[in-house]
Amino acid sequence: MPRRRRQPDSSNLPRRCRATAAVAGVVGALILLAPGHPSRAAEPCTIAWDGGAATKRWQDDPNWTGDRQPTDGDTVCIGAGREVEFGGLRTTVAAVRVDGSLTLLANDLRIAGPAESEVTGSFAVAGARLQLDGDLTAASYSHSSGIVFGTGAIRTPDFRWTGGSEHGSGLTEVVPGGPGLAMSGGNHTLDQTRTLKIDAGAAGTWTAGDLELNDHAILDNLGAIEIRGDQDFVGCCGTAPQVVNEAGATIRKTAGDGSTKLTYPMANDGTIDVQTGTLSIEGGSIPGRSSSGAFEVQDRATLLFPSGPNALGSSSSIVAHGTGQLRITGGQTFFTGIVDAPVTVDGPAAYAFFDSPVTLPALRLNRGFLAGSATVSTPDFEWTGGNQIGNGTTRIVPDGPGLTISADAPHTIEDRRLEVARAARATFAEGSVTMFGAAAIENAGLFDVAADVQLSGPCCDPRSLIHNAAAATFRKSSGEGRATIGARFRNEGTIDALAGTLDLAGGLDSYSDGLLGEGRYLVRATLTWPNAHVVRNAAAIELVGQGARIEDSSGGDALRDLASNEATGELTLAEGRSLAPGGVLANAGMVMLRGGATLAPAGAYTQSGGVTAFVAQDAVLRPGDRAELTGGALTGSGTVDGSLVNGGLVDARLAPGILTVTGDYSQTPAGTLAVQVADPAIHTRLDVGGRAHLAGTLDIQTVAGYEPTPAAELELVRHSGGDGEFDLVRGLEPVPGQSYSPPDYAPDAVWLRPGTVPEASIGDAAVAEGDTDGAVATFRVSVSPIPTRTVRIGWRTADGTASSRTDYEASSGTVTIPHGTSTTDIQVPIHGDKAHEGDETFSVELSAPSNATLGRDRGTATILDDDSEQPPKPPTKPPTKPPVKPPQKPPTGKPPPRGPSARPPRRRCVDHLAPTSRLNAGRAGVKASRGRLQIRGTARDRGCAGLARVSVTVALHSHHRCRFLKRSRRLGKPVKCRRIQWITARGTAHWRLLPRRRLPTGRYTIRTRARDRSANVERLRLARVRTFRLR
């Protein structure tokens, strides 16, 4: 409860004033108890303003109760509606209670405390010096001039500060519940260790005048400060003044297109909102304290760091809107939070350290340093000078103009990585770039050297590297002079030498000892690197235009001795470019010849794989010896100026569809000629200036919905003469019901057309029998007219009076008459003897003709008997049996009847038929159990010689190799499975193999093979095979 105020002691007054004092005391008591008088929470008033002097002056005694001025220890009370102006001599009071107004105009007033002072009216400092050592709460407080100092605190919801200084170690605190702080007029000063505090919920408006903080003064904002204008936070002579924007607080610049400077350390844990003009933070961060708040930069506004150090913590953020930007012109600024604003570094001593990954909408490096250990990503980087340092990464990402290197100022990368991401681009338009230490440029997009510039590193530092990644392009697009790349260069993408000379002076890692190992090299002008001498190409080289060159250090042609295009290599010549290697050129990769291009190796052109492609009709392959394909394909329409041997694939494609070979064309059995047909007038053709030697495969590809008919005529190969024909023709019937006529081999061309069907006939034969085998009967088969397709006719022998068992070898087969020839022979072996038998006959019958009809289809062979009849010799001893006269053949050719003791003459066995063998079925053939193996089978001789033996091979499969059973019945060492080892079984017609030793478990294969006494051996491909698992 409030205590009653003690009345003044009237005994100390003069006699004539005692009565007045008594009355005044009663009136004063009534006034002090009236509503609206200051609270009595602390100390009761010891002196009160009664306005007895009818003035406003503090120094007029009659204005106070007791007609005296307040002195030390007094608690001064000024009632409501009273206006008091202080301007007297130095005065000290304990406290004040003001319900009216108190204005300090001059001189010194000390409020010593410790009691708390309270102003429910207004309190103003307008020229005086107020030493406040106790706390004061004011409903309204204004400070226009003069000084407020001391250890006490002023707390007010309404602080109008138009000038003057607030010193000492005390506190000026703006609390909520009123209009807050309003700063205007002239300069405002906080000095010594005084703190100006804006409480949470309170506001401050700054419209004019600078705010000067000196010594250890602090502006501590927990509310909202609005800066309306370009006034500055300035300081003089201070050692550690500070501005602290606490969490949840806001400092907002809302007016003024100029700059507001903050020249002393600051910590922002709330929000700083730059809505217009520039906020220049020149004092850096408070030592040991980083900012964790937000910086908002609105459209056309700027947040400037001209000095430092500035520490932005991991929870901080800088976000720009519209064209707002962040500029760093000096000092060190450390970013570990979010930065979503265009950043400009422009100052010789400006450092921007990024120690956490950020993505900037734009980055400008004019002068100074971009540093830090994190990755800085941006789609828009203008680099007009300055340095990139540290072990971090600068990454250029898509969706922007990319990296632009310009201006004549030096550009430096030291121990830092510059990346151009996929689909991003970098343009080097002016100046020079120097790489130091472990600096690296990693290009995964497009790096365009648009001028005769230098991108170099210091001598002999192998750590600096430019890497052109796969799918990336490093291009010199402008400048007729030389662009020098002095750092090591590794190319896995495309190097495009479009203009002038691109000099990889630091060396090309992708090249070593004559091998260009990786990457693509698109050369329209000149490309060079030290010691360039490409003998083997495993990369992709494209020379476009007659002026395209890859040069060595002396300016010579680096491809002059190109000998091999490897399986991964690509060689492309275009726009009239010619290449003439000095020897044999072997291709296993891709060779493309475009418009007007000529590839002319001095030796042969060989191809073991890959593709040689003519992309234009005027492209030429001109080998000094020949062009030979043992694999791969030759495609497209162009000219082989010389001879061509095709052991791979030749495919001229469809449009225009003509491949010209000026020499001979030879196709091996492994070769394929592919033709495409879209119409009888639109199809592939091979034009051969010399002879065409044909074999292998003809592959007919019907395209574009064409429906062929046998009546169609298509010229596929044109030549001056030819031989042979295709062994296999594919595509004659592309779909059921649609077909071409088979190839027609005319003297000067190969056609698909009906042609003429010749007639085939067989003549007779006559042959002397002889005493032994060796004579043959020859039948002449003739075709008329001369065929243009190969004629094939089946034939077989048939007995007449001659028997195929004793007189001739029964035979059959197919006779082939190649196109361009009209005759061939069929030969039948004759079995000779010394017996007088008379003439005998047999015949050969023709059947199943292909590409011909049959005229005379049966020819007769006469075996002329050349044996004379001999009388028997007289016996040298009495014969045990009466002699038997050898029978003679009757004229009809039939043998005479034999007598009871007559024996036919012994015929010699002529056996050309191989025997056969097989395993018995199921377990009767192979019985495998508990490591034991039993094998049984049969064999049969198809001729007359008789079986000699049966061989068996038993193989255990082990890791793609085989262990064969030996004669010792043990398994041998692993060998290749095709090196079969045989052992002999017991028996012949019924044979067996019973190994007594246990065999290891696994997968086994058994083959059998029989042999007769005429050395005929069963063919291995027909041998019986059985696979089983021994457990």
Helix (H) / strand (E) containing 15: helix 15-32
* Number of CB atoms found within 10 A of residue 42's CB: 20
pLDDT in tens, 971-1023: 888 998 888 889 999 998 898 988 878 888 888 899 899 998 888 888 765 45
- Is the model's pLDDT at 783 over the cut of 70? yes
pLDDT, tens digit (0-9, with 9 covering 90-100), for 822-851: 999 999 999 887 777 788 999 999 999 988
The 8-class DSSP code of residue 18 comes to H
Q: Determine the Cα–Cα distance for residues 537 and 517; give it in Å rounded to an integer.
A: 7
What pLDDT does 423 receive?
96
| pLDDT of 1019 | 77
Same fold, 759-864 and 916-1030: yes
pLDDT of residue 999: 87
Q: Which CATH class is domain 916-1030?
A: mainly beta
Q: By CB neighbour count within 10 A (0-12 exposed, 13-18 middle, 19+ buried), where does 980 fall?
A: middle
pLDDT over 80 at 319, yes or no: yes
Residues of the chain with pLDDT > 90, as a percent, come to 69
Which residue in 204, 235, 231 sits closest to 218, CA to CA? 235
Selection from 83-87, 454-458, 498-502, 1025-1029 with the highest mean pLDDT: 498-502
Mean pLDDT across 397-411: 93
Q: What's the pLDDT score for residue 892?
A: 46
Query: Which of 8-22, 427-441, 539-553, 866-880 is the least confident region?
Result: 8-22
Q: What is the pLDDT confidence band of residue 873, given thresholds at 50, 70 and 90? A: low
Q: Is the pTM of this model over 0.85?
A: no
Q: Over 90: is that where the pLDDT of 897 sits? A: no
Average pLDDT, integer, range 922-927: 84
Identify the band that residue 238 occupies on the pLDDT scale cut at 50, 70 and 90. Answer: low
**pLDDT at residue number 308:** 84
- Residue 384 is predicted with a pLDDT of 96
Determine contact, residues 108/129, Cβ cutoff 8 Å. Answer: yes
Q: What is the mean pLDDT of residues 20-42?
A: 39
Please give the single-letter amino acid code of residue 185: G
Listed range (577-586, 721-730, 908-917) with the worst mean pLDDT: 908-917
Instruction: Name the least confident of 35-49, 252-266, 473-487.
Output: 35-49
Region 695-717 average pLDDT:
93
Rounded alpha-carbon distances, angstroms, from residue 163 to 126, 159, 422, 492, 733: 9, 12, 60, 70, 106
Looking at residue 25, its pLDDT comes to 41
CB atoms within 10 A of CB 1026: 15
Query: Per-residue b/e over 853-880, b at no fewer than 16 CB within 10 Å?
Result: eeeebebbbbbebeeeeeeeeeeeeeee
Contact 616, 597 (CB under 8 A): yes
Q: What is the per-residue pLDDT for 358?
A: 95
Range with the poorest average pLDDT among 89-98, 712-721, 902-911:
902-911
- Report residue 959's pLDDT band, with 50, 70 and 90 as the boundaries: confident
* pLDDT, average across residues 933-943: 89
- In 3D space, the residue among 563, 513, 506, 548 whose CA is nearest the CA of residue 533 turns out to be 513
The pLDDT mean for the chain works out to 88
Model pLDDT for residues 659-680, shown as the tens digit of each residue: 999 999 999 999 999 999 999 8
Quickly state the pLDDT bin for 893 (edges 50, 70, 90): very low
Position 837 scores a pLDDT of: 75
The CA–CA distances, whole Å, from 4 to 39, 93, 322, 916 equal: 11, 20, 65, 142
Reported as a pLDDT band with limits 50, 70 and 90, residue 901 is: very low
* Spatial CB neighbours of 753, under 8 Å, sequence gap ≥ 6: 712, 713, 714, 741, 744
The per-residue DSSP string of 695-759 comes to -SEEEEEE-TT----TT--EEEEE-SEEEE--SEEE-SSSBTTB-PPPEEEETTEEEES-----E
> What residues pair up with 242 in beta bridges, in sequence order?
218
Higher-pLDDT residue of 895 and 10 is: 895
Q: Let me know: does 477 contact 429? Beta carbons within 8 Å.
A: no
CA 432 → CA 278, 385, 395, distances in Å? 33, 9, 20
Task: Tell me the pLDDT tens digit for each residue of 512-546.
Answer: 999 999 999 999 999 999 999 999 999 999 999 99
| Residue 670, both tokens | 């492994």
In this model, does residue 21 exceed pLDDT 70?
no
Reading across the β-sheet that carries 776-784, which strands appear in turn?
823-829, 776-784, 759-762, 853-854
CA distance 335 to 515: 47
Backbone angles phi, psi at 220, to 5 degrees: -115, 110
Residues of the chain above pLDDT 70, percent? 90
Q: Give the pLDDT confidence score for residue 885 in this predicted structure.
A: 52
Taking the C-alpha atoms of residue 547 and residue 534, their distance in angstroms, rounded to an integer, is 18
Average pLDDT over residues 134-140: 94
| CATH domain 759-864 topology | Immunoglobulin-like (2.60.40)
Hey, where are the domains in the chain? 759-864, 916-1030
- What mean pLDDT do residues 150-161 have? 95
Mean of pLDDT values over 14-30: 38
Distance CA 581, CA 601 (A): 5
Give the C-alpha separation, 788 to 758, whole Å. 9
Q: Residue 170: pLDDT above 90?
A: yes
Which of 973, 979, 942, 939 is closest to 958 using CA atoms?
973
